Structure 1
Amino acid sequence: MADNNKTDGERPEGERIAKLLARAGVASRREVERMIGDGRIAIDGKVLDTPATILPNLKGVTVDGKAVAKPDQTRIFAFHKPSGLITAERDPKGRATIYTALRNAMPKGSPRVMPIGRLDMNTEGLLLLTNDGELKRALELPANGVPRTYRARAFGDISQEQLEDLMDGITIDGVHYGSIDANLERRTGRNQWIEMTLTEGKNREVRRVLEHLGLQVSRLVRTAYGPFELGDLPRGQAGEIKQADVERLRKMMKREGFL
């Protein structure tokens, strides 16, 4: 289906359909593109065949035959993820997922939400959730440099000087990890708590870096993501971020060109 919102010599008016659907909370842009490839999205009854289609709005757009509702107000929720949960909607191995816990943890009347980034099964702490797929993508992209802070309990020997070397980045088994701000918080014998702030969020980044330094990680907690902190949110519970803080974040992301 060709872009039908432009004439020769004019720029198209509107936005790519994947971006509009992500903003409406249907799915992430990447997932929307897969849905288009699977023939699940149509416009005025005609199955869409390209994610490059540009539209002014979602009028006439259907997903699996159902009309897409207008985007709701962007909302963000903080969830204190316990260890032992998979950050996914479903797991082929039948393991418990965050959505198992969210059924009881989310406030009443909450919209369908998607996790911003992931925490592996054995990592606990702050997991942000949103109904805005476009904001989700912007907060996840490593290029946007959104900081994530973790506290790791690790066994072994390490010095502050060794941790400070991580500011220059480190390459492990051919994978390069960017600058990490790491600080030794406290030590009891050979056990210590280490705080680490990074911006890339690669798969198992904190564990791999600390294990490369000869440490054994026994507990890992994410304490902050962007401007939002875990605080005293009880484990297994979720709460909504104040709307004023959400709007402040969106304005900043737009100002930086991330949205």
Structure 2
Amino acid sequence: MTITRALSKLGYCSRTQAERLLAEGRISVGGKAVTDFETWVDIHSDRIEVDGLAVAAEEKVYVMLNKPRGLVTTRDDPEGRETVYSCLKDAGFGFLSPVGRLDKASEGLLLFTNDTVFAQRLLDPATHVPKIYHVQVGGRLDDRQAKQLKSGVPVEGETWRAASVRIIRHGEKNTWLEVTLEEGRNRQIRRMLEAIGVECLRLVRVAIGDVELGDLPKGDVRRLTNSEIAILRKATGFGGR
């Protein structure tokens, strides 16, 4: 694989950061400095160094964050907005990447890991790992509209569907729904609601598969338990190891 992908896969840094290190002449392979982005390496046999220090595969780390509203899911935001990494900066987990995204206005369960294969499998629509959201909408949503979200609504020339939708409770001026998705389209729930003329007031992801956000405080992070990791690995076809 390319040197930039190798450094990302080893959990050292992102590909973008690796490109910067290359441009600065800080990376060597087999004792020779490299600057070409297309340099290919074997992570199992080639000695890769940054600033003269060997890069080795790090322990696999899996954590969850209760993402607050108002943070963007990226490491470096060109607009200078606060990112989810402000919640991880003092946690001491090393370089981690988010597994999928939550948009700026959304809240709740967001996973991070340095296990790129695991992350790709978890995001692959073919694995059908459900993501569960609690969604507050304006007005009193009726059963017909809830069923419409499941049967399908037109969005940009396509039919988008939720795997399941149920009404949790009605308020005087709003309704809470539980929506389950098995695909990862950009802002899917918000855009489906917009398509049927319903305003999304709040969106909180509460579970991925059988791993739940629980009572983790807003803005806090914690490692996944071994049983939670096994549950997700099994759901993605890795098995429970």
TM-score tier after normalising by the smaller chain length: 0.7 to 0.9
Question: Which letter does structure 2 place at the counterpart of 1:98?
Answer: V
Return 211-220 or 178-187, whichever deviates more: 178-187
Q: How far apart are the structure 2 equivalents of 1:61 and 1:251?
A: 33
Shift in CA distance, 59/215, structure 1 to aligned 2, threshold 3 Å:
same
Shift in CA distance, 27/203, structure 1 to aligned 2, threshold 3 Å:
farther
Q: 2:153 aligns to what?
A: 170
Shift in CA distance, 134/20, structure 1 to aligned 2, threshold 3 Å:
farther
Q: How far apart are the structure 2 equivalents of 1:199 and 1:42?
A: 42
Question: Which letter does structure 2 place at the counterpart of 1:79?
Answer: L
How does the TM-score come out when normalised to structure 1?
0.76
Counterparts of 1:1-259 in structure 2 under 5 Å?
A: 21-26=7-12, 31=15, 35=19, 43-44=29-30, 45=32, 47=34, 50=38, 55=42, 57=44, 59-62=46-49, 67-72=54-59, 74-104=60-90, 106=91, 109-255=92-238
Shift in CA distance, 95/22, structure 1 to aligned 2, threshold 3 Å:
closer
**Overall identity of the aligned pairs, in %:** 34
Q: How far apart are the structure 1 equivalents of 2:52 and 2:237?
A: 33
Shift of 1:140: 1.8
How does the TM-score come out when normalised to structure 2?
0.81
Question: Which letter does structure 2 place at the counterpart of 1:202?
Answer: R
The root-mean-square deviation of aligned C-alpha atoms, in Å, is 3.1
Shift of 1:54: 7.2
- Cα-to-partner distance string for 1:191-247 (whole Å, 9 max, x where unaligned): 100111102121111111111111111111010123311111111111111124324
**Which ranges of structure 2 fall in alignment gaps of 5 or more residues?**
none
